[in-house]
Each structure stands twice: as C-alpha cells, then as structure tokens.
Amino acid sequence: MTVDRTKPRLDAPHIRELLKTMLRIRLFEEKCAEVYTQEKIRGFLHLYDGEEAVASGIIPLLEQQDRLVATYREHGHALARGVPMGALLAEMYGKAEGCAGGRGGSMHLFSKDHNFYGGNAIVGGGLPMAVGLALADRMQGTDAVTACFFGEGAVAEGEFHESLNLASLWDLPVLFICENNGYAMGTALDISEAETDIAAKARSYAITSEVVDGMDVVAVEAAARRALQTIAKTKEPYFLECRTYRFRAHSMFDAQLYRDKAEVAKWRERDPITRFQNWAKTNGFLHDADLANIKSEVTAEITEAVAFAEAGTDEPIETLERFVMASKRPDPPEITNPGKMIQTTYREAVKSAITDAMNRDNRVFLMGEDVGHYGGCYAVSKGLLDQFGTDRIRDTPLSESGFTGAGIGAAIAGMRPIVEVMTVNFSLLALDQIMNTAATLRHMSNNQFGVPVVIRMATGAGKQLAAQHSHSLEGWYAHIPGLRVLAPATLEDARGMLWTALEDPDPVLIFENVMLYNMAGELAENADAVDIDRAVVRRTGEDITLVTYGGSLFKTLDAADALAADGISAEVIDLRSLRPLDTDTIRASVARTHRVLVVDEGWRSGSLSAEIGMRLAEESFFDLDAPPGRVCSAEVPIPYARHLEEAALPQTSTIVHAVKQLMKKIP
C-alpha cells in the first residue's frame, strides 16, 4: 500500500505540536503588544495575530538546508523556524543580544544559523532575493528549497511579477507563499486589484498554484507537503495563496478605520487556533490538561524571553559604524611587472576581465539584459555565450529590479554574480534592491549576511542618446553607505578592477563611461587585478590639482597639456574609487599645489565635486590659496542635439578656463 505523504499524520503528538506552534506565536505577540504599550518596543510593530496557521503549517516542513525569506510581519515565521524567542524579543527591544544586534528591529529579524534571511520592510522587496537564493542552489546543484513569504499587497509591485517570471523561466526551486489577509495596509484587495484571484496571477507565469484556507492549519500543511514534494520532483517553483486574516490592525499605530468590527468578529469565528483546538478536543486528541500544559510551557518561555530582553545591553555608540562594510577585506593585489604589451580597447579589456574571472572561479557568472545572444548593448560580452553557455551567461528579461535582486540573492548564497545593467538611467528601476538590500544587509543583519555582488553599468553622455540614456549618476550611488563605487578610466583599470571587485565581500558598483568603450591603447598581456582603494596621480604638477574620474580623465589630461603650454603646471588625480574616497591622496597633492579644481560629469547641485570641496574645506583649509573650484555638467537633462550635448558636459576648454580663473585668485 502506497502512503500518501501529502497528508499530515494527525496523531496526538503531531496535533499537539501544531497547536503549540500556533500558541507560541499568538501568546508571544500578545506579550509584544503589551510591552509595546509600555514603550519597550518602538517603531512599527506588525502582529501576526490570526495568521498563525500559515507559518505553523509550512515552516516546520522545511529542511535545515532550506532557506526562508520573510516579510515585515515575520515574528511568526522566525518562531516557527526555531529562532530563539529571547533573541527575537531582544532584537525588538533594540538590544545587542538581539538576533540582529539591535540593528534590525521588529521588521528585520535575521538568523544565519537558521537560514532565516529576514523580513523586508519594502513590500515585495524580498521576492527577488528569494529568486537569487534559489538560483544559487540550482547552479550549485543542491536540493535546497527557498520559501518566500509575502502579503497580498506585494502582488501590486513590479518585483512580484518580475520575480515570478524569473523563477518560472529558470525553473527555480522557490515556494512562494502569499499570505492574503485582505488588506495591504488599509486598502482592501478588491479596491487595489482588478483581478483578486492571486493564484491565477501566478498561473499566468506557468507556475503550479493553489488556493488554501489559511485559517486551517491542516489544510495549509497538506498543501505545503504537496508543494514541497512537487518542487523536489520537478525542481520548479510552486505558489500557495493562503487566504487568511489579521485580527489586529496593520500595525500598532493603525486606528483600523477602514474595516468594521462586524467583519473582524466574523473572521474571529474562524480563528485557526480555536477551531483546531476544538476539533482536537472533540476527537479525543487533546484534553484540558494537555492544553494547560502547553500554555504553561509557552508562558514560561515568554517569561524567560522577557527577562532576557530586559536584561539586554545597548550596543556601544562607539561601534555605530561597525558592519557597514566587512571588517576584513582581501589584501590589495601585488602589482606585477608588465609583460608583453598588446593593442586592445577598453571594451576588450572589460571582456577579457570577465573571461578571466569566469575561468578562475566557477562561482562567477554574468547576467543582464541582452548579455548573451545579443552580445551586450555595448558588445562587451560578445562571444561569451558560446564559450560559457547559457547557465553562466544569463540573458534576463527587461526587469532591472528583479534580476538585480536575483543577483544579490545569489551573492548572499555564495555565488559571485556580475550583474550588468544596460545603462545607469535604467539602474534607478533597481535602486530599491541596490540601496535597501545590497547596501544595508550586512549592517542590518549584524554581519550575518554579506552581499558580494558586482553590478556593472554604462554611464555618461556623448553619443547623442538624449536624457534617458545619458546621465552620470555615479555620484548619487557614492552617497550610499554599504556600497563600493568604482569608475575605471584606463585600460588597466577596466581590466583589473573587476577581479579585485569580485574578491570584495561587499557590493561593488562599476561605472563604465560610454565614451571609453572604443578607446584603444596598449595593455600588458599579463595585466591582473589592481588596487581599488587608492586614487592615482596620472600627471604630476606644482600649481594646481585637478581631480576627476571616468570619462572626464582624458579631457582633464588634455587640459593639463594645454595649461602647460601657458606655463601652468597641473597635477591630475584619477579618483578611480568614488566610495570610499581616497582623500589622503587629494590632500597630499593640495598641500603641494595649494589650489584644486574638481571635474565631475554629475550635476553641480549635490554633486561628488561638492563633497570633495567640502572635505577639503574641513581638512585642508590652511593649505588652500584659493577656494576649491569645480566644473560640472549643466543643470539640465542631457539634450539630444550634439552642440547642446557638448555644451552640457565638461569639456577641455571649460576646464582650462576654470583653471585660469582660479589661478587669478591669490591669497
């Protein structure tokens, strides 16, 4: 006789365990609500009250190797996964003993030991990460499953659709669980969605989907068993829409004016704990003494958790900046003696760097729009598909947030993805994933998870592509803690920075100026990794320091040549790294020349040049014989017409003029 493993084994011990799991969540959250009113928990507090059957029916079925991505209402998920209750409550108290060192709080609970990748306060923001975690497991050949929980509000987000499409397209082992409680925040589903059958949306992406009574823990567990068995057999995603209800407000701040008491009361009649408890009693599986023992055990655990949290200590202010980036980074590479020089281009230098990285490390892969069959928008990856195949050269849909987030997830799980975003303007569609996940995860998880992803993108103007393809936004990204931002200008840096970036334990953004791809020159055949921590003096001088990066480097060098003919000796510094900034090299130069001009293709207002100028004003004021100067792009969207585009950008002539104006200013 064949045993149907999709059905729960409803013996007394299992029934009591299911009930205890739900009661642990319910009673813990009742205590959380109580201490919140005492202001021991601050910020937002989103309670899971009413939805306990979903986490309790699914999460205990996951194996230790399986991964779990939650949403901001994740106390129940964390408890069901086995994260210690004391560590959870201490985190909500903001204590150093919390599961994220007090850096995450109620909405961002993490536990590396439990493969618990945290809640995400950005609705739908965890979906791309889940896809990336599953992608890493697929590429590494494991049998792990990634379970991803989210509310029905996430269904309206583009990241929901992008993530489901990628998971289905690439046959990834993701169990998507939509906890449909009817209200995203205060807006009912039928007000916000034209199609309220969420499982139908998932089916439209060719994902096996089913609707489950989320108030029935047995039904949820049975569905989860079916889903996990199907994933194990097909290695494809599965979607569960669990129709449930939150008895409490969206958060403790919520006055609940959007739904009436009768509606809440009607749903309370279907309370998953009460229904299951009464059923178990009626059928002789549970007695009053059993229930009393369960509640006594849970109450004792909660009392202990409260004592642990209240005895917790505050993280010292002196460690505020700890774990923004990894505390230990690889040593700077040794600079090898150049070998035979070969003629090449910037484009080919980047391509050879990708090729070399993929040959060195099987964890490295390239993903992005048109990187494979098309060969890349700027032909950087042309031919790599034939060399490495579709698994490591991954064409993606036009879904910047989805595939960037997937790259981030794959990096967290141990891969070394190179994500190519076609142009910097498009990267704004992925800004959520870059800023809210890649840049924050190490700090927010208290160093439990790093994101060693490399994201490359074309930047800059000069090709008459008009405003939506031509801006220089790297200075914006240099504003974000948790990122390393690079701007290679030379063939050596185009070739060598990528490998150094791939060795970095934190997210690295590489901005390649579009006007450099065709630049030709000589490059050592044995060119290797380069040090990305330091700026480089590209030309020495005595009268003024010119600071620049990327596509403006060669205009600045040309300006230095023109100035030399007029008797002005200009030193040219190539920043190379925009975050962190090598201010030591800049200050040392200014201490000799006593004047500085920053050339920056970003807009003047809020620019990187403004940051450099202010730092010099703070740190090198008495070395300056004139105010810091700058040449930036005009404060207009980059225009199409060539003469207007050229007028909008820093040019050699404008740099020369600005230097001469600065030289007229004497102490």
Banded model confidence at residue 2, pLDDT cuts 50, 70, 90: very low
Cβ-based neighbour number of residue 316 at 10 Å: 9
* 448-457, 526-535, 603-612: least confidently modelled range: 526-535
Q: Are strands 596-603 and 544-548 parallel, antiparallel or unpaired?
A: parallel
Cβ-based neighbour number of residue 234 at 10 Å: 12
Question: Is there a catalytic annotation at residue 469?
Answer: yes
Q: Do 223 and 136 reside in the same domain of the chain?
A: yes
For residue range 215-227, list pLDDT tens digits in order: 999 999 999 999 9
Please check the confidence at residue 1 and state whether its pLDDT lies above 50.
no
* d(C-alpha 465, C-alpha 642), whole Å: 10
| pLDDT of amino acid 331 | 82
Asked, for residue 319, whether it belongs to a domain, the answer is no
Asked, for residue 472, whether it belongs to a domain, the answer is yes
Under DSSP, the state recorded for 476 is: H
Q: Which domain holds residue 651?
A: 536-663
Dihedral over Cα of 432, 438, 444, 449: its sign: positive
Q: Do 469 and 615 reside in the same domain of the chain?
A: no
**Closest to 285 measured CA to CA, from 13, 7, 9, 8:** 13
CATH number at residue 540: 3.40.50.920
Q: Do 176 and 201 reside in the same domain of the chain?
A: yes
* d(C-alpha 31, C-alpha 487), whole Å: 51
* d(C-alpha 651, C-alpha 617), whole Å: 26
Last residue of a domain, one of 474, 495, 524: 524
Tell me phi and psi for residue 535, to 5 degrees.
Answer: -75, 165
Q: Do 544 and 421 reside in the same domain of the chain?
A: no
**Closest to 28 measured CA to CA, from 426, 313, 377, 303:** 303
Under DSSP, the state recorded for 611 is: H
For residue range 380-433, list pLDDT tens digits in order: 999 999 999 999 999 999 999 999 999 999 999 999 999 999 999 999 999 999
* 612-616: long-range contacts, CB 8 A cutoff, minimum separation 24: 612/547, 612/581, 612/583, 612/586, 615/581, 615/583, 616/586, 616/587, 616/590
For residue range 488-498, list pLDDT tens digits in order: 999 999 999 99
Q: Do 165 and 190 reside in the same domain of the chain?
A: yes
**Closest to 652 measured CA to CA, from 528, 511, 548, 574:** 548
Asked, for residue 268, whether it belongs to a domain, the answer is no
Asked, for residue 217, whether it belongs to a domain, the answer is yes
Last residue of a domain, one of 478, 500, 524: 524
Please check the confidence at residue 123 and state whether its pLDDT lies above 90.
yes
Tokens for 451, please give them. 């994101």
CATH number at residue 500: 3.40.50.970
Asked, for residue 333, whether it belongs to a domain, the answer is no
Asked, for residue 63, whether it belongs to a domain, the answer is yes
3-state class of 288 per DSSP? helix
| pLDDT of amino acid 666 | 54
Q: 113 or 182: whose pLDDT is higher?
A: 113
* 191-200, 333-342, 402-411, 581-590: least confidently modelled range: 333-342
Banded model confidence at residue 595, pLDDT cuts 50, 70, 90: very high
Tell me the CB-side half-sphere exposure of residue 144, using CA atoms within 13 A: 22
Q: Do 483 and 562 reside in the same domain of the chain?
A: no
Instruction: Report yes or no on whether pTM surpasses 0.85.
Output: yes
Q: Do 505 and 587 reside in the same domain of the chain?
A: no
Catalytic residue from among 74, 152, 315, 400: 400
Q: Do 511 and 561 reside in the same domain of the chain?
A: no
Mean pLDDT of 479-495: 97
Strand partners, 341: 524
For residue range 173-188, list pLDDT tens digits in order: 999 999 999 888 888 8
Catalytic residue from among 469, 492, 512, 611: 469
| pLDDT of amino acid 3 | 43
Place of tokens 């993903």: 367
Cβ distance 177 to 151 under 8 Å? Answer: no
When the pLDDT of each residue in the chain is averaged and rounded to a whole number, the result is 94
Q: Do 255 and 288 reside in the same domain of the chain?
A: yes
Please check the confidence at residue 6 and state whether its pLDDT lies above 70.
no
Tell me phi and psi for residue 395, to 5 degrees.
Answer: -70, 135
Please check the confidence at residue 47 and state whether its pLDDT lies above 60.
yes
Asked, for residue 329, whether it belongs to a domain, the answer is no
**Closest to 152 measured CA to CA, from 239, 257, 84, 88:** 239
* d(C-alpha 120, C-alpha 126), whole Å: 6
**Closest to 70 measured CA to CA, from 82, 56, 55, 57:** 55
Please check the confidence at residue 667 and state whether its pLDDT lies above 60.
no
Number of compact structural domains in the chain? 3
User: Cα 101 from chain centroid?
Assistant: 20
Q: Are strands 341-345 and 208-213 parallel, antiparallel or unpaired?
A: unpaired
Question: Is there a catalytic annotation at residue 159?
Answer: no
Cβ distance 421 to 455 under 8 Å? Answer: yes
* d(C-alpha 214, C-alpha 179), whole Å: 8
User: DSSP secondary structure string, 417-475?
Assistant: EEEEESSHHHHGGGHIIIIIIITTHHHHTTTS-----EEEEEE---SS--GGG----HH
For residue range 182-210, list pLDDT tens digits in order: 888 888 888 988 999 999 999 999 999 99
Cβ-Cβ contacts under 8 Å for 433 (sequence gap 6 or more): 125, 128, 129, 401, 404, 405, 408
Mean pLDDT of 17-46: 95
For 52-109, where are the alpha helices, taking DSSP H only? 52-58, 75-81, 85-92
Asked, for residue 270, whether it belongs to a domain, the answer is no
Q: Do 213 and 108 reside in the same domain of the chain?
A: yes
Give the rounded percent of residues in the chain with a pLDDT score beyond 90: 88
* d(C-alpha 483, C-alpha 45), whole Å: 29
* d(C-alpha 62, C-alpha 329), whole Å: 34
**Closest to 99 measured CA to CA, from 107, 108, 88:** 88
Q: Do 469 and 571 reside in the same domain of the chain?
A: no
**Which residue type sits at 599?**
V
Q: Do 98 and 227 reside in the same domain of the chain?
A: yes
H/E stretch holding 572 reads: strand 570-574
User: DSSP secondary structure string, 205-231?
Assistant: TT-EEEEEETT-HHHHHHHHHHHHHHH
Last residue of a domain, one of 524, 552, 569: 524
Distances from the Cα of 458 to the Cα of 105, 189, 378, 641, angstroms = 37, 40, 9, 20
| pLDDT of amino acid 163 | 98
Sheet harboring 570-574: ordered strands across? Answer: 536-539, 570-574, 544-548, 596-603, 629-633
Please check the confidence at residue 504 and state whether its pLDDT lies above 70.
yes
Q: What angle do CA 79, 80, 83 make, to 5 degrees?
A: 45
Q: What angle do CA 346, 348, 351 make, to 5 degrees?
A: 115
* d(C-alpha 137, C-alpha 139), whole Å: 5
* d(C-alpha 187, C-alpha 153), whole Å: 9
